[in-house]
Amino acid sequence: MIEVYAHNYLKNLLKKDSLLWPHNLTLSRLVARSLRRRDKSIFDLQGVNHNDYWFGVLIPLCLNSSGAALVVTPLLKQRLFQVEIPKLKDEGLDLVVWEGVNPPSDDKLWVLSYEDFLNAYDQNFLGSKQFIFTEAELLTRRLREVMSIQICSSDWDSLRRAYPLASSALVDLYEDFSQKMFSSATRPDGLVRIDWENIFALTDLLGVLAQLPKPWPAVLDAITGGWASWAQLDYKLLDWTWHLQPLEPLGTLCQFFIDNPFITLSTSAENELFSLNEISNVRVKLGSAMHQEPIRLFAPFRQPLPNAECFAEHLLDQSRRLVLGRQGLTIILLDDDQLLRKLTSELAAEFGKRVVFCSTAPDSNGIICCTSKWWLDFQNQLPAPEQLIVALLPISSLESPLTFSRVEAFKKQGLDWFRDLLLPELLSLLPRVVLPVRKNHGRVAILDGRLRARAWGGKVFDILQPWIPLERLLPD
């Protein structure tokens, strides 16, 4: 009956507001059914912004939130409390929520941040709840970030204070690590990968010490679990921070997804939930990319490859041409820190204060130079751009210690690390990257020569459908 009630509520809402995503009707029935049957459900939603399907998820929860938990980012939580719940109240629906690490004792909807979710998992508080993850195409990245461990000099000091007899050995290990890190660095702002073979002595020492202070027990588990490991150097203080991140967070939390029902909602046809497909019992695609507004795509032939000497000059020339005469907001994406800062300074020398670096307060005709990660995190806080310039396709670089470790793991399994790992991640990312531009009837320029020169470029064109080729840069 929950499906029928949710359907009727949304049907009435659609009569009042024709701009609501029409597939909310179907989504509400699917969500209500999954809640009632406690299914493991994966929903791929195409041609929709995440903000457009809240009613399809929340209305079933208003009718039956018993045993349900919603995992959200701070921005999503803010929207939930300030926008969506007041909208529900206007329609006579009340959504009663419970926050924090400890689960509710009644039928309230449990709203968790990713940090609270992980803490509750560590304390075995999750029980038999049914968990809902929106923006699931970013689930792996968000879990990896919240599961990450950082070890700084103060953590070494706390370990020495806890075990004075081992203090000398720990000091020797730390100094040996420091010497190796700084001597192997190729550039001051670079990250240095740490191979597990280099820390056997530390593993042996931690293994014989009882009741390690936090976060050292987690470090020992990460070492034995084969996590990615690297050092971030601080040349000014001659200090370094040790970073550890899981290669595949969904694999680390595999037992949780086996034991608990869940609902994931993603807006990418290609997503990172491959490991959940085998244990899910419901998978549905809603919507169609063909219902989206076509974008004007500028991707000329014979562009240089990123490793060409003239590539930086090519980016500057083309970016200058694309920006000239534009009256709206322009976003320039470049996932190479040195090249991004160089391009930002060169464009600022010509266009002045219009050019900003990773800023959420641009001019109306501003030019924001940023990484794809920054754009994904802050695009909801910015006006819809008129133009998006993808200087480099956001393919994870092997210079990243995390990416390198993941690629090595794929190689050991005999898998095609590019087509099975990096390319699917790119295809999962792009629809979300271009969606604000598409909704604003803007244009997208891709200046990466690999789009035309590589066979896999066709898959990029396919994932961007529908689009209209822009052959020449002419005034509007």
Is the same domain home to 19 and 166?
no
Q: How far apart are CA 43 and CA 56, in angstroms?
A: 12
The verdict on residue 240 lying in a domain is yes
475 in a domain, yes or no? no
* 240 and 212 inside one domain: yes
CA distance 192 to 199: 14
SS3 of 148-196: CEEECHHHHHHHHHHCHHHHHHHHHHHHHHHHHHHHHCCCCCCEEECCH
**What is the pLDDT at residue 319?**
95
pLDDT at position 163 is: 93
Whole-prediction pTM: 0.87
Using the 3D structure, point to which of 181, 213, 245 is the last residue of a domain. 245
| Residue 124 sits in the same domain as residue 203 | no
Q: Kindly state the greatest CA–CA separation across the chain.
A: 74
474 within a domain of the structure (yes/no)? no
**Distance in angstroms (rounded) separating the CA atoms of residues 194 and 201:** 14
- C-alpha–C-alpha distance, residues 348 and 353, integer Å: 7
Residue 476 lies in a domain: no
Q: What's the pLDDT score for residue 274?
A: 65
What is the per-residue pLDDT for 257? 92
The answer on 168 and 106 residing in a single domain is no
Q: Per-10-residue mean pLDDT for the chain, 476 residues long?
A: 75 70 87 93 84 89 89 92 91 90 89 95 89 91 94 94 92 90 77 81 86 91 89 88 93 90 81 73 78 85 94 95 91 95 96 94 93 92 94 93 92 92 91 89 95 96 92 67
pLDDT of residue 50: 79
Q: What is the domain-level CATH number for residue 441?
A: 3.40.50.300
Q: Taking a C-beta distance cutoff of 8 angstroms, is the pair 39, 82 a contact?
A: no
Peptide bond into 164 cis (omega under 30): no
How far is Cα 434 from Cα 442, in angstroms, rounded to an integer?
A: 9
Question: Domain end: 245, 272, 307, which one?
Answer: 245
Residues 101 and 185 occupy one common structural domain: no
Residues of the domain holding 42: 2-144+249-288
Q: How many domains does the chain have?
A: 3
Instruction: Check whether residue 196 and residue 339 sit in a common domain.
Output: no
Quick one: 94 and 175 in the same domain? Answer: no
Q: Which of 158, 236, 149, 164 is nearest to 194 (CA)?
A: 149
Say yes or no: 324 and 213 in one domain.
no
Asked whether residue 303 falls in the same domain as residue 429, the answer is yes
**Tokens found for residue 298:** 């500028």
